[in-house]
Amino acid sequence: MLLDGPNNNALVTFNISYSVLEETLTAELYEAIQQADSEIAEAWFDQAAEYWKQAIALTPGPSISQTTTPFGTLYVFHDPLTLKANSNSKIVGTAEGTSITSSLNGLQSISIAKITLMMNHYKGSISVVGGTHNTKPSNHPVVGGTGDFLFVQGYVTSSPVDLSGITVTYKIQFHLYWPPYAIPSHPK
């Protein structure tokens, strides 16, 4: 197990404590259940719940900000896509999906998104999956598409533009390739 940073002690203590508690709880809880002793079983469940409250409180993590969320945080989004980094700019589509914080420092996540575009020459959606860094550009491979983007290949780059204020703004760049057998119905 590789651990670094200030969380080492809490994580190591947590893992050791969990193993000892699990063995104790398993044997005595199993015995209480076998004897159909609901009072003892309920007492063990209460003790386990109290232990988990303490263990979770010992595990430090980042606070919530515009760029960080605690490990395991699930964030769901459904945002308009505009031509420029301005909410008054023309809307050309939507980005919807989910992101799960996957780093202990709260800066990286696994993202799944469907980007729907409604432009003059292209209509359809692109599905992407990949790792996102909240403060640096990230490439997301295209895993599927619909409409004019059926069979499209490539990747989408998301880059932070403005991380201050109440809203966070990202620039989305499309790096797409249509194989010879998949020509869009609305060529540019």
* Per-residue pLDDT tens over the stretch 77-122: 999 998 888 878 899 999 999 999 998 888 899 999 999 999 888 8
Domain count along the chain: 2
Question: Residues 16, 78: one domain?
Answer: no
Any domain includes 67? no
- Domain region containing 16: 8-58
Question: Residues 105, 154: one domain?
Answer: yes
Question: Residues 45, 93: one domain?
Answer: no
Overall size of the chain counted in residues: 188
CATH of the domain at 143: 2.40.480.10
Any domain includes 188? no
pTM: 0.63
